[in-house]
């Protein structure tokens, strides 16, 4: 007979959050709508609104959990939240948290996401911190902002020298409470994640809390009447779980009623319309950029895709018959298969899955061949800002980890933004409406990638726009290719805030190929 140890841990959300005391540091699982312990976070908010407790919390979480009125938004109350340390923000979908940050109502730090996951590992192991080159020369470097996003004054990052080389030292953060989400708890309290698309560091969160003398709250959908048949299916051992909240209404993905096993590795199936990107549905400028960008990938490449425009690259690769030549990864652990464009980080039919800290180790150490990333701002020195621009608070996500030692970094983005519209007329690209906002700026608002540091690490940096292809060099940005019909001075230099070098001879985009589908349909 299986010894029942879970019964004494079962509790409702209100009782579970009573273990969160004023001034606690908590870590929370989640990636947008995935692995978000929604019922427990809602109870935490209700406790504060009803009784004014717990207050003055610090939240340390690698990724933002929830969207709009879910997840971290439950904690978006001045007084409840005192400090936030995370790798991602979203001004559009988490306005409450964003307002607390921008109005200095709380202290905020933005860490590289991979570093944040690895700090949880280090805390679990009793280490004082993490020594790494990740973040050198960026806004995370204490000689710039030290990862501080507002009035925050405490120093969490230091520069240290080892063997005459500079590194950043990120201090570990003791965890008082870990609030995580799983799928099933068995009679021994073991938590599995068979319905969850990703692992997202929940074991490291639980161990960090346990070894800090803290509390682990696991929210699940159901209880198994026996133990898990295969111990390898256990994500978090029951011996380190203190409270279990069972929420039968819990969803695999917030806002979706059904469990899709193609996102969990449970089944392999062909994708239906709506589950894969439709290239023809993309704006013309995006089709041109992505089709030209795909040419930067080589057969056999291990590829990373960032958020934004690059998530549609797999559709272009399938359209061009190149999908099976490359292996696609995203920063949340999935390798192979097709990234889900609706819930970034999940993959249909993935081939393997690494835990969060491990996928970032692969990236940080140079395991990738090429990464395709979005582009918000770039300057003459190849410095890129993708984290905090034009009043849009995003944080770095995995960007800084990904670009640390990747051989080829390819930025995919339009030359300008905000109202840009292009067309093809008689084989030439025509800018019908220019974007209101420059992306090629004199000085980036924040350095998320340091161009000089990346070049020193041996990376090549390429920028693909609808009008031309650029390379970042030590002498500045070099225009190497141009779309037919585009005038260098009128259509490019006029909208770039710094001098560029024009290659001689200057190659030309094959616009016909970039605007024609394999079945012969032309874009216009």
On whether the CB atoms of residues 334 and 347 are closer than 8 A, the answer is yes
Q: Flag the least confident range among 13-27, 84-98, 506-520.
A: 506-520
Residue 13, classed as helix, strand or coil, is helix
Beta bridge partners of 83: 58, 107
pLDDT of residue 69: 93
With a pLDDT cut of 90, the percent of the chain lying above it is: 90
pLDDT value, residue 149: 95
Considering only CA atoms, which of 97, 388, 20, 360 is closest in space to residue 204?
360
Average pLDDT over residues 73-86: 98
Residues with active-site annotation: 331
Q: What is the model's pLDDT at position 34?
A: 96
Determine the pLDDT at residue 517.
77
Question: CA 393 to CA 387: how far, in whole Å?
Answer: 7
* Residue 341: per-residue pLDDT: 87
Say how far apart CA 268 and CA 467 lie, in whole Å: 39
pLDDT of amino acid 276: 60
In angstroms, the CA 297 to CA 317 distance is 10
* Mean pLDDT over the full length of the chain: 95
Region of 299 please: left (phi>0), alpha (psi -120 to 50) or beta. Answer: beta
Categorize the per-residue pLDDT at 319 as very low, low, confident or very high, splitting at 50, 70 and 90.
very high
Candidates 375, 380, 377; CA nearest to 499 is 380
Strands 334-335 and 338-339: unpaired
List the chain domain ranges: 7-246, 279-415+438-478+488-503
pLDDT at 521 over 70: no
Confidence category of residue 2, pLDDT binned at 50, 70, 90: low
Question: Alpha helices of 397-476 — where are they, by DSSP H?
Answer: 399-402, 451-456
Residue 274's pLDDT is 56
pLDDT at 518: 74
Q: Which of 103, 78, 74, 73 is nearest to 89 (CA)?
A: 73
Contact 39, 13 (CB under 8 A): yes
Q: Which range has the worst mean pLDDT, 71-85, 201-215, 273-287, 302-316? A: 273-287
Q: List phi, psi (to 5°) of 309.
A: -55, -40
Question: Model-level pTM?
Answer: 0.96
Q: At what angle do helices 202-210 and 113-124 cross, to 10 degrees?
A: 40
What's the rounded Cα separation, in Å, for the pair 462 and 522? Answer: 27
Residue 272: predicted pLDDT: 65
In which residue are the tokens 């161990």 written? 207
Token pair belonging to 21: 């005391």
Is residue 228 over pLDDT 90? no
331: pLDDT strictly greater than 60 = yes
Per the CB < 8 A criterion, the answer to whether 44 and 28 are in contact is no
- Give the mean pLDDT of 290-319: 96
> What does the DSSP 8-state code read for residue 415?
S
Whole-number pLDDT of residue 275: 57
Q: Is the pLDDT of residue 431 over 70?
A: yes
Q: Which CATH architecture has domain 279-415+438-478+488-503?
A: 3-Layer(aba) Sandwich (3.40)
- The helix or strand, by DSSP H or E, that contains position 423, with its residue range, turns out to be strand 421-425
Question: What pLDDT, in 10s, does the model give residues 339-378?
Answer: 998 899 999 999 999 999 999 999 999 999 999 999 999 9
Left, alpha or beta for 333 (phi > 0: left; psi -120 to 50: alpha)? left
Identify the DSSP state of 3: -
Average pLDDT over residues 109-113: 99
Task: Give 9-12's long-range contacts (Cβ < 8 A, gap of 24+).
Answer: 9/189, 9/238, 9/241, 9/242, 9/243, 9/244, 10/223, 10/244, 10/246, 11/243, 11/244, 11/245, 12/43, 12/245
pLDDT confidence of residue 519? 67
Tokens representing residue 426 in the block: 């008689």
Q: For residue range 147-156, what is the model confidence (pLDDT) as tens digits? A: 999 989 999 9
Beta bridge partners of 158: 169
Phi, psi of 197 (to 5 degrees): -70, -20
Phi, psi of 78 (to 5 degrees): -65, 125
At 277, is the pLDDT very low, low, confident or very high (cuts 50, 70, 90)? Answer: low
Neighbour-count burial of 154, counting CB atoms closer than 10 A to its CB (0-12 exposed, 13-18 middle, 19+ buried): exposed
- Residue 515 pLDDT level (bands cut at 50, 70, 90): confident
pLDDT at 157 over 60: yes
Select the more confidently predicted residue: 521 or 335.
Answer: 335
Assign 48 a pLDDT band (cuts: 50, 70, 90).
very high
| pLDDT value of residue 62 | 98
Lowest mean per-residue pLDDT among 316-320, 371-375, 463-467: 316-320
On the question of a common fold for 7-246 and 279-415+438-478+488-503, the answer reads yes
The band of 223, judged by pLDDT with boundaries at 50, 70 and 90, is very high
Please state, in angstroms and rounded to a whole number, the distance separating the CA atoms of residues 57 and 25.
Answer: 6
Task: Please tell me the least confidently modeled range out of 255-259, 302-306, 425-429.
Answer: 255-259
Domain covering 7-246 assigned CATH 3.40.50.2000 in the classification: no
Number of Cβ within 10 Å of residue 93's Cβ equals 18
Query: Does 169 or 280 have the greater pLDDT score?
Result: 169
Confidence label for 523 from pLDDT (cuts 50, 70 and 90) = low
Mean pLDDT along residues 291-307: 98
Q: Are β-strands 416-417 and 421-425 bridged in parallel, bridged antiparallel, or unpaired?
A: unpaired
pLDDT at 522: 67
Nearest partner of 248 among 185, 298, 311, judged by Cα: 185
Q: Is the pLDDT of residue 222 over 60?
A: yes
């Amino acid at each position: 007979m299986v010894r029942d140890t879970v019964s004494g841990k079962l509790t409702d959300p209100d009782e579970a959050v009573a273990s969160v005391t004023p001034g606690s540091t908590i870590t929370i699982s989640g990636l947008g709508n995935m692995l978000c312990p929604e019922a427990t976070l809602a109870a935490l908010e209700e406790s504060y609104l009803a009784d004014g407790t717990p207050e003055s919390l610090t939240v340390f979480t690698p990724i933002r959990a929830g969207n709009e009125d879910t997840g971290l938004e439950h904690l978006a109350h001045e007084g409840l939240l005192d400090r936030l340390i995370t790798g991602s923000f979203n001004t559009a979908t988490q306005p409450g948290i964003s307002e607390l940050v921008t109005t200095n109502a709380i202290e905020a730090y933005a860490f590289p996401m991979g570093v944040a996951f690895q700090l949880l590992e280090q805390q679990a192991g009793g280490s004082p911190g993490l020594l790494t080159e990740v973040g050198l020369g960026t806004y995370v470097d204490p000689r710039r902002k030290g990862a501080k996003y507002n009035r925050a004054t405490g120093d969490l990052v230091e520069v240290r020298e080892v063997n005459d080389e500079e590194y950043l030292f990120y201090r570990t953060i003791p965890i008082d409470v870990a609030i995580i989400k799983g799928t099933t708890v068995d009679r021994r309290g073991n938590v599995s994640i068979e319905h969850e698309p990703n692992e997202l560091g929940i074991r490291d969160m639980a161990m960090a809390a346990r070894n800090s003398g803290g509390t682990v709250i696991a929210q699940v959908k159901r209880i198994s009447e026996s133990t898990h048949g295969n111990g390898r299916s256990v994500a978090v051992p029951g011996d380190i779980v203190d409270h279990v909240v069972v929420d039968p209404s819990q969803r695999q993905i917030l806002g979706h009623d059904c469990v899709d096993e193609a996102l969990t590795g449970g089944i392999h199936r062909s994708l239906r319309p709506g589950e894969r990107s439709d290239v023809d549905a993309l704006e013309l400028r995006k089709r041109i950029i992505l089709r030209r960008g795909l040419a930067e990938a080589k057969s056999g490449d291990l590829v990373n895709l960032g958020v934004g425009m690059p998530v549609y690259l797999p559709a272009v690769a399938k359209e061009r018959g190149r999908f099976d030549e490359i292996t696609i990864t995203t920063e949340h652990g999935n390798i192979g298969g097709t990234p889900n464009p609706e819930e970034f980080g999940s993959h249909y039919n993935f081939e393997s899955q690494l835990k969060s800290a491990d996928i970032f180790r692969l990236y940080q150490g140079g395991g990738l061949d090429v990464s395709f990333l979005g582009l918000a701002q770039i300057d003459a020195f190849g410095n890129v800002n993708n984290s905090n621009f034009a009043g849009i608070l995003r944080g770095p996500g995995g960007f800084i980890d990904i670009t640390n030692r990747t051989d080829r970094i390819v930025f995919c983005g339009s030359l300008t933004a905000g109202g840009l519209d292009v067309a093809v007329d008689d084989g030439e690209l025509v800018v019908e409406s220019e974007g209101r906002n420059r992306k090629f700026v004199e000085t980036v608002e924040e350095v998320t990638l340091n161009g000089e540091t990346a070049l020193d690490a041996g990376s090549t940096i390429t920028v693909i726009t609808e009008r031309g292809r650029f390379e970042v060099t030590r002498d500045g940005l070099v225009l190497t290719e141009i779309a037919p019909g585009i005038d260098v001075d009128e259509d490019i230099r006029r909208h770039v805030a710094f001098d560029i070098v024009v290659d001689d001879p200057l190659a030309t985009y094959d616009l016909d190929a970039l605007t024609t589908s394999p079945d012969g349909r032309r874009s216009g």
